[in-house]
Amino acid sequence: MAEAPAIAQMGGVPVLILKEGTTRKTGREAIRLNIMVARAISEAIKSTLGPKGMDKMLIDSLGDITVSNDGATILDEMDVQHPIAKLLVEISKAQDDEVGDGTTTTVVLAGELLKEAERLLLMNIHPTVIIGGYKKALEKANEVLRNMAIKVDINDEESLKKVAMTAMHGKAVRGVKEYFADLAVKAVKQIAEKRGDKWIADTDYIQLIKRQGGSLFDSQLVYGVIVDKEVVHPGMPKRVENAKIALLDAPLEVEKTEIDAEIRINDPSQMQSFLEEEERLLKEMVDKIATVGANVVFVQKGIDDLAQHYLAKKGILAVRRVKKSDMEKLARATGARIVTKIEELSEKDLGEAKLVEERKVAGEKMVFVEGCKNPKAVSILIRGGLEKVVDEAERSLTDAVSVVADVVEEPYILPGGGAPEAEVARVLRDYATKIGGREQLAIEAYANALEAIPKALAENAGLDPVDIVAELRAAHEKGKTNYGVDVYEGKVTDMLTKDVVEPLSVKLHAIRSATEASAMILRIDDIIAASRLEEEKKGKKEEEKEKEESTEF
């Protein structure tokens, strides 16, 4: 890297513009460097794509191991330094946050678009022309995908299950994907709600709790909420049927004064009355809870020891320091209202559940709130023999839940196996000839980049990518738009008959994110990196100081 403080000549006298030690790369060199970094990241995760994709083992600075083939997880765990690499990590996160799947596709596609752009740059085609062609290709791709999409009825559980199973292909949970898909569909359908004409499925209301032990088949869907806390007092019931639940965002304690106060006590009787008053206040709070008919209490804040004793005497099950997010889920599941002032608690504020019970799972106590009437928040308890298996099962279920929610919100699906990419590539090649000029080359390059997806699926399955892509092109030329790569049989076939389907929203988002990322990277023609000299000098000074101190002893 050349040390290149920008120097301008002014009347023969050099003028320093940038700080000493600043590095700068400009023009083609800057673009080529950025493309190289993006392609390196893309190539690193390309081998994880598809049902036969490989896994990556990531070891962090503390020695913790993550084994996964989930694109978002791999990029998140990789400690990348280069700013372009960080940009690709960001687009994968955005894809994951927005639609919950398709992260690997997004990054692989961005890398391929840049690889094709590099070829065009060598032909002296300006980056702006390439970006213009890519934007036109993206618009056309959106149009083709929307025309290809198949409408799904929200009550068609079989189609939703197929979507969930496709999202879990190639994950560690392969053996239980049908069981997990069933859990995901039931959970999403339970929390989905209609607002106006649209369905909304907020996956935040599906709580995933993982516990090592048992098999993956021991995972279960709870129509209610699992609170990762234990009952506060040993004298309280551990099981309450037909529970009437109070949710309190107030402490069951005598509140301390906000300001420092001094109370002067002259004789022991005053002290006694002071303690009795405290006791009376706590008893009043518990009596109020009992009077409205509550037999289970979840408190967001603390519960005084004495209050615990009174609650236990009344046979009320109580849990303290419950997380705010869990309180919200409890409110949605049981129909209870979160009350901030105990005095205002009424029977109307109580929620209902058939059963509230403390159970020991994998050596840890948890409170299960089950059998809620039409709960709008549910929980899935994930079990598995190894910690790494439970972690990967959670990632797989998250993907499955996300794609089912995507289809509920936008009820359109596409065939999988690289079929949409192959069809868009075919249409784009015809479209490019109509555009003409230099942009035609950029649109053709976009079509080539899209074909990298079926090519990667074939490569990862040990098939010949050239033969597969040729076969795929031939099928699409004959109008077989649903044909994709069947990695199990090693040939091109109709993906709908193989039940390989994915949400339209995931594909649209992936292609848009990849195009925007590649356009952003192609626009950069100057990299000015600030000097790290000062940091290094500071570090050296501290080292010298430490040496001096050690020699003094």
- Known catalytic residues? 70, 103-104, 399
Distance CA 162, CA 168 (A): 10
List the one residue out of 468, 458, 495 whose CA is nearest residue 53: 458
Buried-state track 97-107, b at ≥16 Cβ within 10 A, e below 16: ebbbbbbbbbb
Query: What H or E segment, with its residue span, contains residue 157?
Result: helix 157-167
Residue type, 401: V
- Look up residue 546 and give its two tokens: 């430490």
List the one residue out of 212, 240, 209 whose CA is nearest residue 226: 209
Give the up-direction half-sphere exposure of residue 331: CA atoms within 13 A in the CB hemisphere. 17
- Look up residue 476 and give its two tokens: 């699409």
How many CB atoms are located within 10 Å of the residue 300 CB?
18
Distance CA 388, CA 267 (A): 64
Q: How far is CA 427 from CA 321, 363, 417, 473, 481, in A?
A: 58, 58, 18, 11, 11
3 state SS of 314:
coil
Residue carrying the six token digits 């509230």: 356
How many CB atoms are located within 10 Å of the residue 80 CB?
16
- Three-state DSSP string of 361-380: ECCEEEEEEECCCCCCCEEE
Contact by Cβ (8 Å): 428, 443: yes
Distance CA 408, CA 400 (A): 12
Query: What H or E segment, with its residue span, contains residue 467?
Result: helix 465-477
Q: What is the total residue count of the chain?
A: 553
Contact by Cβ (8 Å): 56, 103: no
DSSP assignment string, 65-104: EEEE--HHHHHHHS---SHHHHHHHHHHHHHHHHHSS-HH
Distance CA 536, CA 527 (A): 21
List the one residue out of 223, 226, 219, 213 whose CA is nearest residue 177: 219
Rg (CA), the chain: 30
Distance CA 308, CA 183 (A): 37
Angle at 226 between CA 225 and CA 229, to 5 degrees: 135
Q: What are phi and psi of 67, to 5 degrees?
A: -115, 120
Q: In whole angstroms, what separates CA 188 from the centre of its chain?
A: 16
**DSSP character at residue 131:** H
